[in-house]
Amino acid sequence: MAAAFTLLSDGEVASLDAVIDGERVLVDAGDLARATGWVLKPEGLCRDALCVPLRDPSIATADRSRLDLAGFAAALQRPVAIDVEEPAAFLGVAAAERGEQLRGMQAPDFTLPDLDGRKHSLSEQRGKKVLLLAYASW
Amino acid sequence: MHAELSPYGFTVISVALDRSADDARPWIERAAPTHPSLIDTTWAVADLYDIVNVPTVVWIDESGRVVRPNDVFYATDTYRAMTGIDSAAALERVRAWVRDGVVGLDATDAAELRTVPSAEHQLARAEFGLARWLASRGRSEAAERHFLRAGELAPHDFTIRRGSMPMRGIDPRGPAFIEMVVDWMGAGNTYYKPLPK
């Protein structure tokens, strides 16, 4: 059954052509490449200069036109939350990547809006000591 | 604190982990801050800094280095009994840092105290991200499945377990929250984890 499948990743929302087979979500390889930057090549999954070999070749269909979304995420060691009924998925950040970044003890940059919608980045404050306070209305 | 210490080359950046500017607005307007007061509707900062509860503070020096990772911080003593945190002492530590460069932790300590997320926690964050999006689209039943799954995968992450409550029509100060904390602490866990130094 073909479906328009919503993929949330890296702060973006993309609509991918997908065939849903039970719990398996087979997304169009081209749509996935446009959404994530990862292209399926003979060497494996490649983005810019980096290629990750596909240890499990069944992640791709025989004609290599589609990729199993869960298998794609696993190949990149990224977490993915999938809901086949909606259908939608959220592709998260790998624990290894977060861990490496955090262990480096350099404060990750971010850009967020204030109440007026004006954007501010942490990096604008370089040269000052910053007390970063996370809080909430809850 | 910001007003007193900003002449020394210091700023606070406050980040509200809230589903909308409207939720954060009353807090920001009441505080009328002169420092950047930002809204984080996708929990981006929680993810980047592995934040699991609020309020959490991170000290970042002039070169962008984290000199004091995630700590609990209260500007008042409202929660002193629960957290064991003396707000006057906490403010004095900030003053000592800003005016005199005293961090109270050396770089080795800071690195040892820096938490990193597990693969399960990152999956919890992905489940939470999906749940937030579904909830924003009115897909409440589907969202609830993923909110619950996120909480199961990261039971120590209250930015998820409590932070999700307004999105699910649950009072984050009501009986469901109290029951959650009682269960958590009853199992021998702490709700707030201030740094040991």
Question: How far is Cα of residue B7 from the mean position of the Cα atoms in its chain?
Answer: 27
Which of the four pLDDT bands, split at 50, 70 and 90, describes residue B82? low
Q: Which residues pair with A44 in a beta bridge?
A: A41
- Which residue bears the tokens 């306070």? A133
Task: Compute the mean pLDDT over every residue in chain B, rounded to the nearest whole number.
Answer: 91
For residue A95, what is the nearest residue in chain B, using CA coordinates? B119
Q: pLDDT at residue B3 above 70?
A: yes
- DSSP 8-class letter at A122: G
Q: CA separation (Å) from A26 to A29, A52, A69, A80, B5?
A: 9, 19, 6, 14, 55
| pLDDT over 90 at B140, yes or no | yes
Measure A112 CA to nearest chain B CA, in Å. Answer: 6
Q: Which residue of A has its CA nearest to B132?
A: A90
Q: Which distant-in-sequence residues (6+ apart) come within 8 Å of A107 by Cβ?
A: A122, A130, A132, B49, B58, B60, B64, B65, B66
**Complex prediction ipTM:** 0.96
* Count of residues making up chain A: 138
CATH number of B2-113: 3.40.30.10
B39–A112: do the CB atoms touch at under 8 Å? yes
* Cβ within 8 Å, pair B54-A106: no
SS3 B57: strand
User: Which amino acid is present at B40?
Assistant: D
CA B62 from centre of chain: 22
Q: Test A120 with B13 for CB contact under 8 angstroms.
A: yes
Residues of B in contact with A116 (CB under 8 A): none
| Burial bucket for residue B174 (CB in 10 Å: 0-12, 13-18, 19+) | exposed
For residue A42, how many other CB atoms are within 10 A of its CB?
A: 8
Q: Residue B75: is its pLDDT beyond 80?
A: no
pTM summary value:
0.94
Q: How many CB pairs lie under 8 A apart between chains A and B?
A: 217
Measure CB to CB from residue B13 to each of A106, A108, A125 and give the nearest one.
A125
What SS3 class is residue A5?
strand
Q: Give the C-alpha separation, B156 to B135, whole Å.
A: 22
pLDDT band at B196 (very low <50, low <70, confident <90, very high): confident
- pLDDT of A113: 97
- The domain segmentation of chain B, as residue ranges, is 2-113, 119-186
Query: In chain B, whose CA is at the least distance from the CA of A113?
Result: B38
Least confident of A23-37, B68-82, B95-109: B68-82
User: By three-state DSSP, how is residue B87 classified?
Assistant: helix
The answer to whether the Cβ–Cβ distance between B130 and A114 falls below 8 Å is no
Q: What is the mean pLDDT of residues B165-179?
A: 96
Residue of A nearest to B94 (CA): A131
Q: Are strands B56-60 and A129-135 parallel, antiparallel or unpaired?
A: antiparallel
Q: Which of B14-28, B127-141, B143-157 has the lowest mean pLDDT?
A: B14-28
pLDDT at B78: 53
Residue A46 is predicted with a pLDDT of 97
Tens-of-pLDDT digits for all 138 residues of chain A?
678 999 999 999 999 999 999 999 999 999 999 999 999 999 999 999 999 999 898 999 999 999 999 999 999 999 999 999 999 999 999 999 999 999 999 999 999 999 999 999 999 999 999 999 999 999
Mean pLDDT for B21-48 is: 91
pLDDT in the model for residue B77:
53
Report CB contact under 8 Å: B10, A86.
Answer: no
The residue that leads in pLDDT, B81 or B148, is B148
Interface test with A, best of B4, B23, B87, B116 (most A CBs within 10 A): B116
